[in-house]
Amino acid sequence: MIKQLAILITMTTAALLAQPATVWAQSYVELQDAKKATGVDEKSGGTVALKSRFMDLSGNWSSLKEFFFEDRPVFLSMNYADCPQLCQNQLRILAEKFNEAEMVPGKDFEFISISLDPREADIRTREVKQNFSRLLTGEADSDGIHFLVGKKADIDAVANSIGFKYVYVPSAGHYSHAPLCVALTAEGKISRYIHGLAIEASQLEESMKIAQTGEVAEESVSMFAYACLLFGVNPGQYTKNLLGLMKIAGVATVILIGACVIPFWFRAPPAAKSKSEEIATMDADHAAVSFKEKESNA
């Protein structure tokens, strides 16, 4: 019985341990595919998809073109509220550099952030805008800061028009994308690409001035960049799988130990000898000792 139980537990443990390993391998493959699919194909001089429609925080749906004005350029960034690390860091750095360059949204330029997640709740979008706006100093006009949500087709239209390649990774539940800010002219023409997080205030100011003239910059701002989910977040995903593996292994160990110990707990104790049996045993032992003593004396 115990042998059969041990075999059953061994087979069950093997099946349980194989499952997280499969999930781990699947996560790794998905992340590698995401890495290949993430990036930016610059389309300087092209036009952003102005006909795409998005909803602002007032619940109004408008074409992207309605957020452009004749007297100022636009900085466009594609983020999403539940981004694990990259988006909040990028927005924080942009706000800090706008402050440093004394560039005021709503006065000197318009700032637009389009969510990559078509399922994003407006309350989360509102929180992100509030956090971004709090970082700004000076006379920043809230009407010049636009955090928009939309349907996937419209999000993809804008992303494709600026060469922004992103992908959703199911195993992680997040989007893989590069940190990118694009300077656009008042007509929606792509004037300059600003890559990465190591942005200088002077570069943003220069990009704004070039876009104001309606011209296209001769070169992009290319700094060390990494993609959301592909840097600093992967280890966490693998750690989750590893912890799951360890938990299942721990449970299996407890079951195995229990299978070995429990039978002893429920084993019936040896039957107690009756008084007559105890006396007979003692007489037999005494007789054996007496016989040995006689033999030794002889």
**pLDDT digits (tens), the chain, 298 positions:** 555 555 545 455 544 444 444 444 556 666 677 777 789 999 999 999 999 999 999 999 999 999 999 989 999 999 999 998 899 999 999 999 999 999 999 999 999 999 999 999 999 999 999 999 999 987 878 889 999 999 999 999 999 999 999 999 988 889 999 999 999 999 999 999 999 999 999 999 999 999 999 999 999 998 655 555 554 344 444 344 434 444 554 555 545 555 555 555 555 555 555 555 555 555 555 544 454 555 555 5
Q: How far apart are CA 51 and CA 177, in angstroms?
A: 23
Answer for the pair 110, 67: CB distance below 8 angstroms, yes or no.
yes
Q: How far apart are CA 17 and CA 231, in angstroms?
A: 28
Complete edge-to-edge strand list for the sheet that includes strand 74-79: 145-148, 110-115, 74-79, 180-184, 190-195
Nearest to 157 by CA among 38, 44, 47, 49: 49
Q: What is the pTM of this model?
A: 0.70
DSSP 219: S
Domain covering 39-229, topology: Glutaredoxin (3.40.30)
List phi, psi (to 5°) of 269: -70, 155
Query: Where in the chain is CATH 3.40.30.10?
Result: 39-229
pLDDT at 34: 74
Helix (H, G, I), strand (E, B) or coil at 210: helix
Q: How far apart are CA 277 and CA 51, in angstroms?
A: 103
Residues β-bridged to residue 177: 228
Give the DSSP letter string of 100-112.
HTT--BTTTBEEE
pLDDT at 246: 45
* Residue 142: C-alpha distances to residues 2, 24, 92, 137, 205 (Å): 72, 44, 16, 12, 20
pLDDT at 16: 46
